[in-house]
């Protein structure tokens, strides 16, 4: 069984899948570095890019993405599971519609409202990112669990599995592909939305982007934008690998 699983992973995680995205990111970063190193930087641009400021903003961006995604999972996964249970099944449309409002609202407007309510700071930016990204995980969790053949659930209960056992050993493994697709979408959304954290005092690469726009310093703007794009590509690539690894062997597709 384990050997078959390993063979399936080798078949799906090809060398192209492992190399293409990181290789493209390396090329993009190299071209950006060549551009910046060949460009005359005045004192304003140098101040924006020196002293470890770029590394600091990149690290802040990673932290914002990781923390917000963690809270999205903590909220959306248990809630999605609960909404597929008989006691709360009727509440699912209303809760999903409420989550949809959060994503339908313009991100910058949502962040502005949260700043008025919670004040300026990273926690406000993270709260806005969570509200904005919770829908894909919630909706996919509900859809994945509802798509399971009821006969499989009844068969599991028929052989003596408890409700929790059926959920853990039958329902969740079968729903994993859809759930992971929602998590992957939320991750990429959070990388993009984190650029708006600068307007709420949250830092991140958005600081470089807005600084480049306000001071009209193209190198600063390009570095902030390119790093954001590269981070989104790497996050999506890593999530795709995790998706392959966690998908049950019987549900793998070529």
Domains of the chain with bracketed CATH: 2-251 (1.10.3720.10)
Q: pLDDT digits over 171-228, tens only?
A: 888 888 899 999 999 999 999 999 988 888 888 999 999 999 998 889 999 999 999 9
Angstrom CA distances, 148 to 10, 31, 60, 119, 253, stand at 27, 47, 40, 43, 17
Q: pLDDT digits over 40-74, tens only?
A: 888 888 888 888 899 999 999 999 999 999 999 99
């Amino acid at each position: 069984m384990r050997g078959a699983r390993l063979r399936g992973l080798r078949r799906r995680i090809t060398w192209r899948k492992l190399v293409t995205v990181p290789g493209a990111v390396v090329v993009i970063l190299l071209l950006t570095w060549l551009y910046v190193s060949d460009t005359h930087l005045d004192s304003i641009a140098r101040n924006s890019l020196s002293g470890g400021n770029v590394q600091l903003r990149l690290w802040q961006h990673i932290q914002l993405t990781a923390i917000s995604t963690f809270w999205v999972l903590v909220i959306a996964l248990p809630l999605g599971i609960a909404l597929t249970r008989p006691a709360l099944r009727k509440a699912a449309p209303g809760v999903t519609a409420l989550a949809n409002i959060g994503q339908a609202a313009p991100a910058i407007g949502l962040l502005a409202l949260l700043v008025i309510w919670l004040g300026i700071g990273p926690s406000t930016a993270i709260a806005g990112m969570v509200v904005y990204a919770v829908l894909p995980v919630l909706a996919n969790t509900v859809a994945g669990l509802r798509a399971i053949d009821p006969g499989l659930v009844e068969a599991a209960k028929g052989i003596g599995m408890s409700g929790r056992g059926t959920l853990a050993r039958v329902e969740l493994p079968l729903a994993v592909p859809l759930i992971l697709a929602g998590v992957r979408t939320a991750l990429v959304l959070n990388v993009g939305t984190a650029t708006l954290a600068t307007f709420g005092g949250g830092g991140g690469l958005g600081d470089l982007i807005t600084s480049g726009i306000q001071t009209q310093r193209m190198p600063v703007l390009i570095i902030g934008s390119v790093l954001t794009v590269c981070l989104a590509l790497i996050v999506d690539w890593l999530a795709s690998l995790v998706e392959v690894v966690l998908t049950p062997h019987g549900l793998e597709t070529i």
